[in-house]
């Protein structure tokens, strides 16, 4: 089991009834325990499944679901109908359930015992019957859920459950997510802003403005010895020029300042219990760094890179939605090997079938996606009101398939836009010393970029090598938000029709509420 999820549980509830007598229920219970043990022992599920018994009445369903709502370790509920479980007994429980739901359509035995099957076997093993009854009431009640169809011992079935479990962990984490905005939004930018009240209602994000001068209160409490120790960590972990270690040089002072910035931001995030943050290069506090030698001499890019690697969400220029989404990706991908990052569409490369988009940012790209050991470098940054040299990690991303996602506020709903991408090897950037990725949006540049723009997607996104469309479909289903997928099967005319149909659906839905 993944250590990151060791304090989480998914509850397993089996549906049955007392029509067939107590002996039948005892057999159902025994089968259910074996199934749960088998799922946990498979090695394919990142979160432990806990069997919570067989529900045989409306009261039992309500009691189990009430307990699930109130148990902080429980991040989701799996239901399975071993026998015919009359669906009206699930109504009250489904009405109160606030945790994500997965309906597993399976059967204890894999194959029909053709030579031995009798009426007793038929009465006991009625998942084909019971799961349809349960599925009807869930659909009639418009309860959002994931449906997994397949035998519980099959790896493919277990992997679908595993995807949902990871999404449940990310969803649970987002329900008390505090994002601190250090400084305000970049002036006049629309796509990275949005309705923060609606975001808290729908997605769980709480966003607080935090003036950068408040960060300075923590900055002033950081001890030099702790800064010195962090600088030594930089030199051990990253390739760098020897001159950076000359303590009498201006270069060393710049690296030292970057380390103090990192310690300051980490301190305020920990003090406030925040899971993510944003920065803005137009607001770095009032301290006069040139006159006093105290304060942030430039936007804290190195700090943002390293804090992302630790799991803090980050968004540039006040982009709180991408900061929150990155945090969710980081949670969902714990224990997976390839990494994730905040990224920005930087510039385009038109090259026929290899036409691509250079992904980067001024400084803030997470080293978890680096193809090789990042290099600590010092370069001039001429943006914002403090123009100076500053430290950053420079690298290029791994090659391979990935998926990038963004959430936009459409006024009457949140829209999740997801694009599969192919990261390819870039050419050297000798005069652009930043961390970067180069990718071809799927199914190709024209359709991928075009659909993203038609959908109103941001120039920022949260990227992962390890996630797939399935994760984002599950996330959108749990959140109850619109989800648009752009992948190898996307056709631009059909995508535009989907946008129009969705607009009608959400307008009607709003009118009916």
Residues annotated in a binding site for Mn(2+): 317, 344, 361, 460
Q: Using N-to-C axis directions, what is the helix angle for 212-219 and 250-272, rounded to 10°?
A: 110
Which residue's entry shows tokens 């107590």?
22
Nearest to 268 by CA among 340, 181, 393, 387: 181
369: CB partners within 8 A, 6+ apart: 338, 339, 340, 341, 397, 398, 437, 463, 465
Q: Which two tokens stand for residue 38?
A: 């088998």
Determine the Cα–Cα distance for residues 402 and 420; give it in Å rounded to an integer. Answer: 6
Q: Which residues of 427-451 are buried (b: 16+ CB within 10 A; e: fewer)?
A: eeeeeebbbbbbbbbbbbbebbbbb
430: CB partners within 8 A, 6+ apart: none
Determine the Cα–Cα distance for residues 24 and 32; give it in Å rounded to an integer. Answer: 12
Count of CB atoms situated within 10 Å of the CB of 56: 20
Annotated binding residues, written as ranges, equal 317, 344, 361, 460
Nearest to 257 by CA among 217, 224, 214: 224
Determine the Cα–Cα distance for residues 195 and 308; give it in Å rounded to an integer. Answer: 24
Nearest to 376 by CA among 358, 359, 362, 363: 363
On the CB side of 288, CA atoms within 13 Å amount to 3
- The H-assigned helical ranges of 333-479 are 445-454, 469-479
The answer to whether the beta carbons of residues 196 and 320 sit under 8 Å apart is yes
């Amino acid at each position: 089991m993944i250590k990151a999820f060791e304090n989480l549980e998914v509850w397993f509830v089996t549906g049955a009834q007392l029509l067939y007598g107590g002996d039948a229920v005892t057999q159902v219970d025994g089968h259910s325990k074996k199934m749960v043990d088998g799922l946990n022992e498979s090695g394919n599920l990142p979160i432990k499944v806990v069997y919570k018994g067989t529900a045989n009445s409306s009261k039992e369903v309500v009691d189990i679901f009430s307990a699930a709502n109130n148990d902080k370790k429980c991040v989701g509920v799996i239901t399975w109908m071993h026998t015919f479980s009359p669906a009206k007994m699930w109504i009250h429980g489904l009405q109160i359930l606030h945790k994500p739901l997965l309906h597993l359509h399976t059967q204890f035995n894999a194959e029909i015992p053709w030579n031995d099957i009798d009426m007793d076997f038929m009465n006991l093993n009625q998942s084909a019957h019971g799961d349809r009854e349960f599925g009807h009431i869930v659909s009639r009640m418009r309860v959002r859920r994931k449906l997994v169809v397949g035998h519980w011992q099959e790896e493919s079935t277990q992997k679908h459950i595993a995807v949902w479990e990871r999404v449940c962990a990310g969803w649970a984490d987002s329900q008390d997510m505090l994002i601190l905005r250090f400084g305000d939004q970049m002036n006049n930018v629309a796509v990275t802003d949005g309705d923060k009240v609606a975001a808290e209602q729908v997605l769980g994000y709480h966003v607080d403005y935090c003036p950068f001068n408040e960060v300075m209160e923590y900055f002033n409490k950081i001890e030099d010895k702790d800064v010195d120790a962090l600088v030594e960590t930089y030199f051990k972990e990253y390739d760098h020029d020897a001159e950076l270690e000359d303590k009498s040089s201006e270069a060393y002072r710049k690296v030292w300042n970057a380390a103090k910035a990192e310690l300051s931001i980490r301190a305020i995030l920990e003090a406030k219990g925040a899971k993510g943050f944003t920065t803005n290069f137009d607001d770095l506090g009032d301290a006069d760094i040139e006159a006093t030698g105290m304060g942030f001499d430039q936007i804290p890019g190195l700090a943002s890179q390293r804090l992302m690697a630790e799991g803090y969400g980050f968004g540039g220029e006040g982009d709180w939605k991408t900061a929150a989404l990155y945090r969710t990706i980081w949670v969902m991908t714990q224990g997976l090997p390839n990494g994730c990052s905040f990224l920005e569409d930087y510039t385009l490369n038109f090259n026929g079938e290899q036409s691509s988009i250079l992904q980067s940012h001024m400084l803030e790209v997470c080293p978890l996606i680096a193809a090789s050991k990042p290099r600590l470098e010092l370069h001039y940054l001429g943006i914002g009101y403090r123009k100076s040299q500053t430290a950053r990690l420079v690298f290029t991303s791994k090659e391979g398939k990935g998926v990038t996602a963004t959430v936009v506020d459409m006024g009457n709903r949140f829209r999740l836009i997801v694009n599969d991408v192919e990261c390819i090897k870039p050419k050297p950037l000798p005069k652009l010393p930043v961390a970067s990725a180069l990718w071809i949006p799927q199914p190709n540049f024209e359709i991928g970029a075009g659909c993203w723009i038609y959908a109103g997607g941001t120039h920022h996104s949260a990227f992962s090598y390890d996630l797939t469309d399935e994760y984002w479909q599950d996330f959108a289903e749990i959140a109850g938000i619109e989800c648009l997928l752009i992948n190898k099967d996307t056709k631009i005319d059909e995508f535009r029709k989907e946008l129009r149909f969705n607009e009608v659906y959400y307008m009607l839905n709003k009118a009916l509420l």
